[in-house]
Amino acid sequence: MLEVPSNKPYLIRALHQWCTDFGFTPFIAVFVDSSVEVPMEFVKNDEIVLNLSVEACHQLQMENDWISFQARFGGVPRKIMVPVSHVLAIYARENGQGMSFPFDPKSVSKDIKPEVDTAKTARPKFTIVK
């Protein structure tokens, strides 16, 4: 019998859309290990909470395996990459409604980070022409 793919990325996208449609701020709680790319200075007890609102993140991509975007932390732009397997919950900040997901850190396989198109994410370089 074929293994049924996880419905987790679909539920995350649906709850993100619900939050956005009703003016709520979508937050995700993430388990942090070496496969997660987040500002480590904001990680507490191997977890971080991230704001996925349109105002807070740029170039949000919610794929079946990865969630990636750019956001500012302390005024510094950062690239964020989170494996969907590491998402512990998604909820609306204003009322706490959302969904949590079962998670066992021992069962997580080491996810391979997707290839990033550096042409899109590289900072533009300016030169002075006289």
Give the residue among 60, 35, 9 at the shortest CA–CA distance from 112.
35
Residue 103: the pLDDT is 82
Q: Residue 5, SS3?
A: coil
Query: How far is residue 35's CA from residue 37's CA, in Å, rounded to a whole number?
Result: 7
Entry pTM: 0.78
Residue 32: the pLDDT is 94
In what side-by-side order are the strands of the sheet with 57-62? Answer: 57-62, 66-73, 76-83
Tell me the per-residue pLDDT of 82-95, one tens digit each, with 9 for 90 and over. Answer: 999 999 999 999 99
Specify the higher pLDDT residue, 74 or 126.
74
The alpha carbon torsion through 68, 70, 73, 78 (nearest 10 deg) reads 90
Burial call 95-108: b when 16+ CB within 10 Å, e when fewer: eeebeebeeeeeee
Residue 47: the pLDDT is 95
- Over 60: is that where the pLDDT of 113 sits? no
Task: Choose the weakest-confidence range: 24-28, 31-35, 41-45, 111-115.
Answer: 111-115
Of the pLDDT bands very low, low, confident and very high (cuts 50, 70, 90), residue 118 is very low
Dig out the tokens for 50 from the structure: 């991230």
Tell me the per-residue pLDDT of 41-74, one tens digit each, with 9 for 90 and over. Answer: 999 999 999 999 999 999 999 999 999 999 999 8
Specify the higher pLDDT residue, 103 or 83.
83
Query: How far is residue 85's CA from residue 5's CA, in Å, rounded to a whole number?
Result: 12
Give the residue among 56, 85, 86 at the shortest CA–CA distance from 69.
56
C-alpha dist (Å) from residue 47 to 7, 18, 27, 55, 121:
22, 24, 13, 22, 26
